[in-house]
Amino acid sequence: MGRAKDKSGPLARRPDNSAFKQQRLPAWSPMLTANTVLPFFYLMALICMLLGVWLLLTVQSTREVKLDYTEHGACERCFQMRKNVSFAGEPCTCEVNFSIGKQFKGDVFFYYGLKNFHQNLRRYMDSRDDGQTVGRKNKLKNPSGYCEPFARDSNGVPIAPCGAVANSMFNDTFTLTYHQSSRSIPVPLLRTGLTWYTDKNIKYRNPAVDNLTLAQAFEGTVRPLYWQKAVYELDPDDPNNNGFINDDLIIWMREAAFPNFKKLYGILNRNDNVKFAKGLPSGNYTINITYNFPVQPFRGRKEVVLTTLTWFGGQNHFLPVAYLVTSSLLFLTAVVLTVVWWKFGKKGKNMQLTFQ
């Protein structure tokens, strides 16, 4: 407006006749009448219902087994044992049996689940040092203050990996066995390749090894207080899965958003044994558990989950149910509106006229 106009003459100050300035830009404002609103409601109800049914079918097509082994059978003993901290060093194993009625087709995923474990507390989530786990040498010996009180042990030696998150890492281990007519076949599980690419290759790095062993690289640090072995002993066989780039550690360090969660433990290796090439066959199975992780203090539960996945993920009914509920609500509203319209509005006035 302020710019000097180069026009002159009697209409020099006349505003420009542009669509923008005259507020004539193309616009659309829907007039809400029964003829448009009612079909819209029915249509939306239909669409939501179709989506819901489709998602429901997808979810139903996944197969899932969930076993709470916290106090299950033989694990009761271990549960009691882990109540007492003084037995923390003593190993305890137990096994859980289950059977599959129908074959699990395709890739089968093995999860462990925790309930009532709050990985999402702010101070818990803050209690880690990403600088350390990304392999910075100076951070390795100098963990950040956020890790307190799990930054150094009682002698002042830095902990690697430091912080409450790493310290509380889940340390039960599982082996799965398939029983085929008195023969026990171990079910092969892939224990690597479970993480995101960025986590494994960028976010987590071991300190530069050069020509040292990993143990030497971690020299001058101690393992977290609750751990039974040091970080460089997590998988001594596979240097690509040891130290900070251990899959189990990486998965644990990606904190769950809710107090009940499951984390990937392994994937069925279908190439190892012809028996499992098509997935898990039906039959009886046993899971051998090294029962280390105490859940009694916070009244938590532990479980294992075996499941197949679709594009939609695991067996999660939230979205299909939500769609179906929305659909039925829409339909209900539509019916009520139709009745109202039929009874009162049909021969009545236009909506705008009600203002008068």
Partner 1 sequence: MLGCLYVHCRSETTSQDKGLRKVTRPPAPSPRSCASRLCSVLAEKERRVKANDREHNDRFPYADNRIKTSKYNAFTFLPVNLFEQFQRVANAYFVILLILQLIPEISSLSWFTTIVPLGLVLAITAVKDATDDYFRHRSDQQVNNRQSQVLIRGSVQNEKWMNVRVGDIIKLENNQFVAADLLLLCSSEPYGLCYVETADLDGETNLKVRQAPNVTSDLGDVSRLTDFDGEVICEPPNNKLDKFTGTLHWRDNEYSLDNEKMLLRGCVLRNTEWCFGMVIFAGLQTKLMQNCGKTKFKRTSLDKLMNTLVLWIFAFLVCMGVILAIGNSIWESWIGRRFEVFLPWGESRSSAVLSGFLTFWSYVIILNTVVPISLYVSVEVLRLSHSLFINWDQKMFCGRTDTPAEARTTTLNEELGQVEFIFSDKTGTLTQNIMAFSKCSIDGQTYGDIYDEFDQRVEITEKTACVDFSFNPLCDRGFKFHDSSLVEATKREDPAVQEFFRLLALCHTVMPEEKSEGDLVYQAQSPDEGALVTAARNFGFVFRARTPETVTLWEMGRAVTYQLLAILDFNNVRKRMSVIVKNPEGHIKLYCKGADTLIFDRLDPSCSRLMNETSEHLSEFAGEGLRTLALACKDIDEEYYEAWAERLRCGSTAIEDREEQLAVLYEEIEQGMKLLGATAIEDKLQEGVPETIARLNLADIKIWVLTGDKLETAMNIGYSCNMLRDDMNEVFVVSGQTRLEVQQQLRSAKEHIVGLSRVSSPGDIEKSDAFADDSVFEEAIIAEYALVINGHSLAHALEPQLEHILLDLACLCKTVICCRVTPLQKAQVVELVRRHRGAVTLAVGDGANDVSMIKTAHIGVGISGQEGMQAVLASDYSFAQFRCLQRLLLVHGRWSYFRMCNFLGYFFYKNFAFTLVHFWYGFFCGFSAQTVYDQWFITLFNIVYTSLPVLAMGLFDQTLSKSYRTSVTRTVCATRACTNRASRTFSSTSAGSSCAPCRG
Residues that bind partner 1 (CB under 8 A): 1-4, 10-17, 21-23, 25, 27, 29, 116, 118, 120-125, 127, 145, 148-149, 164, 167-168, 257-259, 294, 297-299, 318, 322, 352, 355-356
What's the burial of 119, exposed, middle or buried (CB within 10 Å: 0-12/13-18/19+)?
buried
Q: Which is nearer to partner 1, 259 or 283 (CB)?
A: 259
Per the DSSP assignment, residues forming a β-bridge with 306 are: 65, 110
Residues constituting the chain: 356
Least separation, in Å, of the C-beta of 296 and partner 1?
Answer: 9
**Residue closer to partner 1, measured from CB, 96 or 164:** 164
Query: Smallest gap, in angstroms, from Cβ of residue 29 to partner 1?
Result: 7
Nearer to partner 1 (CB atom), residue 88 or residue 212: 88
Find residue 94's DSSP bridge partners.
289
Region at 313 (left for phi over 0; alpha for psi -120 to 50; beta for the rest) = left
Whether 132 contacts 143, CB under 8 Å: yes
The string of DSSP letters for 1-62 reads --SPP---STTTTPPP--TTTTT-S--------HHHHHHHHHHHHHHHHHHHHHHHHHHHTS
| Distance in Å, CB of 177 to partner 1, minimum | 32
Q: Tell the smallest beta-carbon distance from residue 338 to partner 1 (Å).
A: 25
Min. distance of Cβ 116 from partner 1 in angstroms? Answer: 8
Strand partners, 197: none
Are 184 and 177 within 8 A, CB to CB?
yes
Query: Which structure tokens are listed for 196?
Result: 């995101």
- Identify which of residues 29 and 155 has a Cβ nearer to partner 1 in the complex: 29
The Cα 202–Cα 224 span in angstroms is 23
Burial status of residue 201 (CB atoms within 10 A of its CB: 0-12, 13-18, 19 or more):
exposed
- Closest contact distance (angstroms) between CB of 227 and partner 1 is 13
Using the minimum distance from each CB to partner 1, give the nearer residue, 12 or 274: 12
Report in angstroms how near the CB of residue 17 gets to partner 1 at its nearest: 6
Query: In this complex, which beta carbon is closest to partner 1, that of residue 25 or of residue 274?
Result: 25
Min separation Cβ 119 and partner 1, Å: 9
Specify the amino acid at residue 116. Answer: N
Taking the CA atoms of residue 302, residue 308, residue 312 and residue 314 in that order, the dihedral angle to the nearest 10 degrees is -10
